[in-house]
């Protein structure tokens, strides 16, 4: 960082699975070339944003890109055997071992994060079993400055643990899972930091395909040689009914229903996060305008100076349920993967090709470039 540069910019990264983290890599690469990057003091990230944010906070974006370009689907989530699904979930969470093998010990990275110039804050959802409902909002936030490295490493992995695929993880004394359930787009936390005077955000816009029922067809085909056995015959009938439900647009089975509910929760929560920020900004601007114009309006209509001052004091003394006292300039890149989206199927899907990955990174870069140019953000003096 240049001497005298103030850290006053917050970076916000949403969840978005494989497509999201690739596009966020392009977003961060372009942001790192701008005049805003030396001012970035905080990175708030959930799920894919937690992973990308970790490497960005350490200024290791080239290493992040290399890691993602070489990443295979089974190095993130490896499908379990069908009989294991009710017990340990659809997939084995292989990402922790992959990071350890290809990037390095995540605890060591978290120790490095604790001394980095930029603070990383990641979010997970609290699913700890308790005798009574917790009084908190089930959201867990972990700061690289305040969290022990071993717990921070667990938090980063838990934030990215898609709960429709893998079981929750232990994070310190909590049991946690995918942060997308509670805070997929952690915009409000950036606004809540009084030191922040500007926000630059990436919001991934997902497109969810229909549930893949090919696994059911495969299981049915394997069971057919044993269809004379009554329990097997009954199971085949249930599988056929599940396929019929899928054709009608209904949830094929329980996992499909949970997946749909998660999509609903994530998409609605993300939209509300941005809508709340927009509404609060507008309210603050309107309150400032009232404070300027109302006293003068009273004077213009012949009221006494004493009354005008009383009105002014009352307006300035008004208390509203805002968690902050200022509106902030915000640059948001909203992007979907569109035609280059990689498959994120519940079971086995297509391989992730290098050209597709590079296309997603480039798309994130180009969309960010356009948004920064629109906002009048200059390139960094180091990249000119």
pLDDT in tens, 44-64: 999 999 999 999 999 999 999
Q: How confident is the model at residue 84 (pLDDT cuts 50, 70, 90)?
A: low
Residue 141 has pLDDT above 80, yes or no: yes
Residue 144 has pLDDT above 90, yes or no: yes
First-to-last C-alpha distance (Å) of the chain: 16
The two beta strands, 40-46 and 330-335, are: unpaired
Task: Indicate the burial class of 262 (C-beta count within 10 angstroms; 0-12, 13-18, 19 or more).
Answer: middle
Q: How confident is the model at residue 257 (pLDDT cuts 50, 70, 90)?
A: confident
Enter the tokens of residue 87: 């017990």
Cβ partners under 8 Å of residue 290, min gap 6: 315
Directed axis angle between helix 149-159 and helix 106-113, to 10°?
Answer: 110
Question: Tokens 């009574």 identify what position?
Answer: 132
Mean pLDDT of 9-31: 96
Enter the tokens of residue 221: 């085909």
Quick one: CA dihedral 299, 303, 306, 308, positive or negative? negative
Q: pTM here?
A: 0.85
Mean pLDDT of 273-298: 88
Residue 350 has pLDDT above 70, yes or no: no
The model's pLDDT over 288-326, given as tens digits with 9 standing for 90+, comes to: 888 889 888 888 888 888 888 888 888 877 777 765 667
Mean pLDDT score of the chain:
87
What percentage of the chain has pLDDT greater than the value 70?
89
pLDDT for the residue 3: 43
For residue 44, the SS3 value is strand
pLDDT for the residue 183: 93
Residue 42 has pLDDT above 90, yes or no: yes
Is residue 236 within 8 A of residue 221, CB to CB? The reply is no
Write b or e for each residue in 265-292: b if 16 or more Cβ atoms lie within 10 A of its Cβ, otherwise e.
ebeeebeebbeebeebbeebeebeebee
What percentage of the chain has pLDDT greater than the value 90?
54
Residue 1 has pLDDT above 50, yes or no: no
Residue 82 has pLDDT above 70, yes or no: no
For residue 192, give the H/E element and its range.
helix 187-192
The model's pLDDT over 157-167, given as tens digits with 9 standing for 90+, comes to: 999 988 767 77
The model's pLDDT over 201-228, given as tens digits with 9 standing for 90+, comes to: 999 998 776 667 777 888 889 999 998 9
Alpha-carbon distance 148 to 220, whole Å? 49
The model's pLDDT over 330-343, given as tens digits with 9 standing for 90+, comes to: 999 999 888 787 86
The residue length of the chain stands at 384
Enter the tokens of residue 344: 């994120």
Q: How confident is the model at residue 132 (pLDDT cuts 50, 70, 90)?
A: low
For 71, 90, 244, 254, the CA distances from 241, given in Å and listed in that order, are 37, 21, 5, 13
Alpha-carbon distance 45 to 122, whole Å? 5
Strand partners, 139: 125
Mean pLDDT of 265-281: 90
More confident residue, 348 or 267: 267
Q: How confident is the model at residue 76 (pLDDT cuts 50, 70, 90)?
A: confident
pLDDT for the residue 348: 55
The model's pLDDT over 233-244, given as tens digits with 9 standing for 90+, comes to: 999 999 999 899
Alpha-carbon distance 98 to 87, whole Å? 23
């Amino acid at each position: 960082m240049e001497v005298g540069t103030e850290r006053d910019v917050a970076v916000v990264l949403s969840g978005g699975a494989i497509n999201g983290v690739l596009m966020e890599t392009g977003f961060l690469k372009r942001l790192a070339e701008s005049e805003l990057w030396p001012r970035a003091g905080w990175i708030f990230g959930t799920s894919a944003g937690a992973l990308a944010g970790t490497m960005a906070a350490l200024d290791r974006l080239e290493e992040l890109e290399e890691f993602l370009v070489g990443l295979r689907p089974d190095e993130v989530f490896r499908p379990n055997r069908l009989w294991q699904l009710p017990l340990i979930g659809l997939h084995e969470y292989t990402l922790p071992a992959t990071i350890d093998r290809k990037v390095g010990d995540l605890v060591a990275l978290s120790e490095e994060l604790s001394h980095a110039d930029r603070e990383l804050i990641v979010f997970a959802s609290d699913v700890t079993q308790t005798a009574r409902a917790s009084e908190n909002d089930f959201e867990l936030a972990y700061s690289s400055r305040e969290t022990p490295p071993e717990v921070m490493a667990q938090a980063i992995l838990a934030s990215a643990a898609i709960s429709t695929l893998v079981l929750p993880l232990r994070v310190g004394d909590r049991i946690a899972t995918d942060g997308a359930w509670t805070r997929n787009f952690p915009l409000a936390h950036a606004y809540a930091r009084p030191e922040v005077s500007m926000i630059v955000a990436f919001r991934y816009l997902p497109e969810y395909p229909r549930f893949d029922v090919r696994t059911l067809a495969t299981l049915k085909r394997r069971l057919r040689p044993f269809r004379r056995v009554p329990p097997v015959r009954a199971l085949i009938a249930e599988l056929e009914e599940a396929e019929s439900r899928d054709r009608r647009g209904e949830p094929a089975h329980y996992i499909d229903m949970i997946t749909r509910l998660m999509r609903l929760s994530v998409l609605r929560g993300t939209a509300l996060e941005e809508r709340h920020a927009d509404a609060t900004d507008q309210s603050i601007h309107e309150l400032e305008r009232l404070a300027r114009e109302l006293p003068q309006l009273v004077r213009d209509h012949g009221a006494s100076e004493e009354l005008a001052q009383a009105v002014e004091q009352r307006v300035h003394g008004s208390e509203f349920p805002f968690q902050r006292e200022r509106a902030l300039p915000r640059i948001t890149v909203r992007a979907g993967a569109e035609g280059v989206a990689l498959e994120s199927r519940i079971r086995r899907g297509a391989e992730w090709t290098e050209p597709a990955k590079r296309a997603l990174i480039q798309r994130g870069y180009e969309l960010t470039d356009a948004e920064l140019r629109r906002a009048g953000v200059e390139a960094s003096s180091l990249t000119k």
